[in-house]
A and B are shown apart, each in its own frame.
Chain A
């Protein structure tokens, strides 16, 4: 069950898209799915055709929700969670693929990104809602139910869990995967210019608006001083941020759990990551938040075609890139050339203005 007052994301960012100077024909649609609002803006030959293509893309997202949801008891993932510890379970191609991608990022991050952390997330969500107090003994027990190494892929289509209390939660990657597949649908319907947004936490940009080099995206800036920006074209941005602390209580829990400690992550940073696919940017943003700016920058450098920016509420920022260019206009005077592959442009500790 999902309480109405539950903060699911806690991730924020701002996107500004420079469209054509002349009025262009675009269609903008929204749909509530996967517990959030998906939006698609697309330019096409005719509004009616574009609207139809968007509808098809939304249908793809709904289909994937029925595959990847751990909330819907009838989803393919729920069935897998119920029975994969008993024997290997055949799963649909999409589920196999997204879990394989999730395990890739789990290995890449040394376990910081872990789709098996669900039991601990549930525990801390209850704490966050004030339904219960933290329970160290239960937390210790549930930590034994976490560990991506216990998920076994059996090509081409079967998955087995090596632990009886295992559960996969694709919340850190599923929306990104859905954006990529929705973009595929738009392409198949002749759309080459669109922006797909999953609840504000992940965006995939296809092509560029008429007359523009790409979709200009203003990234999350908790300090309101840095204004990081990126121009996206056939690439994606995702943002992760821990739940803000309570205003009226000292007891505060966040929704992002560090699998290493079993506890809510303590960080002042929001992080935005740019990658070629939304699946990658979605997984990376959570990973990079958990790793923090120093180890996160090392990870960004170790994989190609990725960029990230960490910004704290106090105005600290750190930029890392192995390809895509994120610009920090407020720090332009001190920003090195960050567009080169493998370059790390760090402004850690800078307090601008």
Chain B
């Protein structure tokens, strides 16, 4: 959350809003349909389908039934397809990049935009994981089971890190991803994912304000076409979640984040960022080209991933120095070489880390890549805690904290109009949980909505030391908290 000067906050917010609102947003769940026929849109409860570009008859049929149809094009087929399918049947094009290089993907995008003028074209990210509460058992296809346990904490597979990185590396579109179902045991292989697995996938995409191409199990698709009651029972459970997800980004929302991650490498930063997400540390990702004067102003803490040679560019170095001088804490990962702040005496700060005072703030250099992302994320959380918050000594800098919620990811958003906030909650354990939440700011009205019970149940706020605390009585998979009637930190201090 922002408790720097108003002007700094405003500039930062402007940057974030420009980054996020400039992206054409679908923010929706698109079903990938594979069967030769399709139930009616009204019965299915969705209006967006993804169909292979070659399935022209199915595309036409779906369009005729009132669906918005997005044609999926493998990158290998892009160059050979100079003539387009009838575009009036399509609402958009989705490029499956496969293993294509960034250059090849950009070429394919240009080709598709040329072939389908006027249609939105988006790149699909296939690196997503099935959202789930993850155990230690990994079941391989050859019958070998493997168990790993990086820590005893409940581990979750979340796509928040992927979404945040995609927002930085492909800012021209809303993140769009797909995942493969992890159907490990014989019961799931026979019957497909549980209904709750579909609900979690839909809830997660909505909470992250991302677009999801969702695969339905072939048995579920076929069952619905055959009017199978069990299949329709599953789909009828999914429908409220689809409706709930469609409301997720109805208003212009911007993520609340006080940690900035600067990176030009998906590979080097993914796991540490994944663990930041896992620990509910609100962050945004910037590339070094995004770093401009004042673009870091709204953050309390920066994590900078250097390039392979342990360096970063001059513009970023200047921005980091300025950030620290004004009271921020910066963590430079994989740092090697000479930096301006090294003129002050170094203080050992961990086995491979040294800390430098820089103006009102400090810069911590970690000499190696992040070898233990879990410990690193906890270190970042501690840096945000009271004792280590150099920006505002004595104040907790964490915008949001959860108790009894080891399986829950919370994503706070600020509603652009007014001093309201929304917190999207996702519980990967898929069973009702009572969650205690502390959020920065003073809010007198708290309303809680869920796909199961709709909107809205009033919750009782407890205001304490600039924070609002409340209890979510029962979070099954998805929940949305509306905070209003008070002062969000950004608006509270005014101009």
Contacts and interface: CB of A to CB of B under 8 A. Distances in A.
A15 B136 contact: yes
A17 B145 contact: yes
A206 to B, nearest CB: 14
A20 B139 CA distance: 12
Contact of B280 (A4, A20, A27, A133): A4
Interface string B401-428: 1111111100000000000000000000
A200 B429 contact: no
A315 B409 CA distance: 36
A138 interface: no
Contact of B151 (A9, A245, A246, A249): A9
Interface residues of A, number: 60
B147 interface: yes
A333 interface: no
A183 B380 CA distance: 40
Interface in A1-56: 1-5, 7-28, 30-32, 35-37, 39, 41, 47-48, 50-51
Interface string A118-155: 00000000000111010000000000000000000000
Interface in B172-211: 184-187, 190
Given A2-B404, A28-B185, A36-B153, A247 B375 contact: yes
Chain B interface category by residue count: 35 or more
Contacts, number: 194
A30 B408 CA distance: 16
Given A5-B280, A7-B378, A247 B366 contact: yes
A181 B258 CA distance: 46
A247 B280 contact: no
Contacts of A7: 151, 153, 374, 378
A220 to B, nearest CB: 8
A281 B431 CA distance: 30
Given A14-B147, A250-B350, A4 B187 contact: no
A316 interface: no
A14 B145 CA distance: 11
Max count, chain B CB within 10 A of own CB: residue among A18, A26, A130? A130
Given A5-B381, A27-B186, A200 B152 contact: yes
B81 interface: no
Choose among A32, A203, A250 the residue with the greatest number of B CB atoms under 10 Å from its CB.
A32
B452 interface: no
B349 A250 contact: yes
Given A3-B403, A5-B280, A35-B154, A246 B375 contact: yes
Interface string B331-352: 1000000000000000011111
A217 B153 CA distance: 20
A37 B280 contact: no
A50 B185 CA distance: 11
B394 to A, nearest CB: 13
B352 A247 contact: yes
B46 interface: no
11 contacts: A3-B401, A7-B153, A8-B152, A28-B184, A32-B431, A36-B153, A130-B386, A197-B135, A199-B154, A247-B370, A248-B353
Interface of A: 1-5, 7-28, 30-32, 35-37, 39, 41, 47-48, 50-51, 129-131, 133, 195, 197, 199-201, 203, 217-218, 220, 239, 244-250
Given A199-B154, A245-B350, 4 more contacts: A3-B403, A4-B405, A39-B136, A41-B139
Sorted nearest first, the 3 A-B pairs with minimum C-beta distance are: A9-B152, A200-B149, A15-B147
